[in-house]
Amino acid sequence: MQKSRKHKILVATTFTAVVLALGVLIKIAYPFSATNPFEVATSLASSDSETYNLLGYWAMEEGTGETLSDGSGNGYDGSISDAAWTTGASDQSNYALAFDGENDFVSTDLSIDESSSGPGATFSAWILVKDYSKGNEAQGQIISTDEESHDWSILVEGHHFAIFTGKESVSGSEYDFNEWYHVVGVFDPNEGTATLYVNGVEDVSGTISYSNNQNNLYIGDNPSTSSDEYFAGEIDEVSVFSDPISPSDVASLYDAYVNDTSSDVDSDDSDSEDDGTDIVCTDLSWMDGRQSFSDVDSNNFYYLPAEFASYFGIFGGYTDGTLRPENQITRAETTKVILEGFRYEVEESDGTNGGFSDLDPSQWYMSYIYSAYINGIMTGNPDGTMKPANTVNKSELLKMFVVASGVTPNACGAISPYPDVATDSWYCPYAQLSKAYGLLPDSTESSFQANEKMTRGDVVYLFYNYDKQWCSANGY
């Protein structure tokens, strides 16, 4: 195997969240090609990770007139009935529509297939609810289909968000008046569920029901109903897909709106081998309330690291939805996570074992180990082995991680960072760096324990804390 310099494969033309770690720029790509987050609804339709069919997109940027232009290109322009133009949900959005709760709505000719054999649908909108008195059970439709006996819709019900599954309303969390929220309803025939998301986080879910009729879509009301279901408040950035968007893409859609890298971020002009994009630290408090893994809830020690790693595509879970942070992780598995976490280009191996007697060229790990080797992240053992199935130990994990990051740790001086670390040991600089930044859960204790076997939880914690500690230490 011949060594080569590492590759960073993400380009500046993609919309990115930028995470800073010990002076190295890690650019985490969303599946959007737009640079303005208020264009993401159209970009999501051409996502690299999923294929979604965008049916309608109403940016509400006209600011005047009685027609909402459909930005999807499908021609489903909306007809405005009495709703008034007002200021948009963000500095990036000039206008929104205000609904008075009495007789305002927008009608469209967009038909939604609500049958059990159909593809499903996703409704997305930014909303602000005004304080109005219609009783605790009053409904205000945000996006709704218009059949009298059946509809899929997202709405407010009294002082709660809600989703109408076809035959019944399922009430979710409470909202505050005069606050903007991103509300998404995902209707998934394959799963048999109708799920409501608020600000990128699942809020409530119910059992979906179906209709064989093609039902037109309205904004701000369900005009076919005999009861008063007019929405009172403001609505902006409405998009509709004929597919159930995945939970991760719902979260990405929300975050793309609120975390525009053109504003409200701290930048640093530090040198980088990237293309000149400013280094920034982002606020990660939006992760609170998410739960990507069924076995890691908000009370779990690894909760925030797990959400960080899941959201930014650093670490996936098992097919049953668990993370199992206590499970030990092998050298091969660690190599895969580190390469993908730092966005290395994974090179195809040359079809040999690379001179390491215990590597099988037909195994899944071969391209990862080959790529790690040519980039200096793994070097192998003196006996000519790589030991891919061995559990990675603490010293190995730290060296692989730090080398992959591009950071060169300081050499150890006369004083060892830990009593059990010799200053001339190969891993002393990595132990010293880990202690200085508290990179691993126990790395500030009295002993280092270089041979301690690492777990999946240790790896997600390392990625998360690596980012957090650098940003904190540099005043972000």
Contacts of 378 (CB under 8 A, 6+ apart): 331, 335, 369, 372, 386, 400
With beta carbons less than 8 A apart as the criterion, state whether 439 and 466 touch: yes
With beta carbons less than 8 A apart as the criterion, state whether 233 and 142 touch: no
pLDDT for 184 equals: 96
* pLDDT (tens digit per residue) in 104-161: 999 999 988 888 888 899 999 999 998 655 544 567 999 998 665 678 999 998 889 9
- Between these two residues, 352 and 2, which has the higher pLDDT value? 352
Q: What is the distance between the alpha carbons of residues 389 and 332, in angstroms, rounded to a whole number?
A: 6
The phi and psi torsions of 463 (rounded to 5 degrees) equal -60, -45
Helices (H) and strands (E) in the chain, counts: 8, 20
Instruction: Return the residue matching tokens 């053992």.
Output: 381
CATH class (in words) of the domain with range 37-246: mainly beta
CA dihedral 23, 28, 34, 35 (to 10 degrees): -10
Domain ranges across the chain: 37-246, 292-473
Nearest residue to 249 (alpha-carbon basis) of 44, 54, 56, 59? 44
pLDDT for 211 equals: 83
Residue 473: enclosing H or E segment and its boundaries?
A: helix 456-473
* pLDDT (tens digit per residue) in 175-220: 888 888 999 999 999 999 999 999 889 999 999 988 877 678 999 9
- Does position 424 have pLDDT exceeding 80, yes or no? yes
Token pair recorded at residue 193: 């569920």
Length of the chain: 476
**If you write DSSP's letter for every residue of 367-386 in order, what string do you get?**
HHHHHHHHTTS----TTS--
Q: Lowest-confidence range among 17-31, 46-60, 313-327, 387-401?
A: 17-31
Q: What is the distance between the alpha carbons of residues 339 and 337, in angstroms, rounded to a whole number?
A: 6
Q: What is the distance between the alpha carbons of residues 21 and 468, in angstroms, rounded to a whole number?
A: 8
